[in-house]
Amino acid sequence: MTTEVEEKTVFKFTELSDSAKESAIERYAMPDYDWWDDTIDDYKSDPDVKAKGYDIDEIYFSGFSSQGDGACWKGRVFLKPWITTHMVAPEDAVKREILLALIEEGWISSSAKITTAGRYSHSYTMSIDDIPQYTEDNDGDGLLAIEGLFKDARVGDLFDAIGGQAAIDALEADILSACRELADTIYSDLEDEYDGYFEEDAFADTAAVNEWEFDENGVLE
């Protein structure tokens, strides 16, 4: 009895036709692990991110081709580093120093909570809790004890000088806008990483390192 062994031609990725290459990339480009973990962990621990006042607890995302895709995060924003690194325009100098003094003395909360809501994961699912303010008996008659330009200044007068509640509302809006911009940046980085897996040169390198061989249709042998 004679057994015939069928010989099958195999190809390196670079030897495939264009259509077979596309098929191989579509089938095998994505890694079989949570490829996004490093990017997310980097943002959560990045000292530059923390230096700007952002303390990220969790990041959520969906992508990358549907309406509603995006990224969002929840955590806290610490106001002193945020104000110091964001309110840098010359015209904001007095407001910045008053806010920092009020925070230092405890008349304005030192942080704000960032939350997410809804079933989508994009930046506009994010919101900011009200920034608490504290004035003595609600009349603002307390005096600042902090050394410096505003020592012994009446708290109510300082609030009035920066625009009162409207200034706090504007601060909350600016912080939330910046938090959303950070979420959009995170999403952009994740999308770039995702797209990179489907680049032909990158896939060719992966195939070569792993010594993958394919049939003529781009199916792994």
CA-to-CA distance for 98 and 87, rounded, in angstroms?
12
Q: Is 61 helix (H, G, I), strand (E, B) or coil?
A: strand
Assign 135 a pLDDT band (cuts: 50, 70, 90): low
What is the predicted pLDDT for the residue at 36? 96
With CA atoms as reference, report the closest residue to 70 among 181, 177, 179, 183.
183
The predicted-structure confidence for 23-78, as pLDDT tens digits, reads as follows 999 999 998 899 999 999 999 999 999 999 999 999 999 989 888 899 999 999 99
The predicted-structure confidence for 193-205, as pLDDT tens digits, reads as follows 999 999 999 999 9
Give the start-to-end residue ranges of the domains of the chain: 36-198
What is the predicted pLDDT for the residue at 137? 47
In angstroms, what CA-CA distances link 94 with 98, 126, 201? 6, 30, 53
What is the predicted pLDDT for the residue at 163? 92
pLDDT for 192 beyond 60:
yes
The predicted-structure confidence for 88-118, as pLDDT tens digits, reads as follows 999 999 999 999 999 988 889 999 999 999 8
CA-to-CA distance for 180 and 175, rounded, in angstroms?
9
Helices (H), 35-164: 37-45, 47-51, 79-86, 93-104, 155-162
Secondary structure element (H or E) that encloses residue 85, with its range? helix 79-86
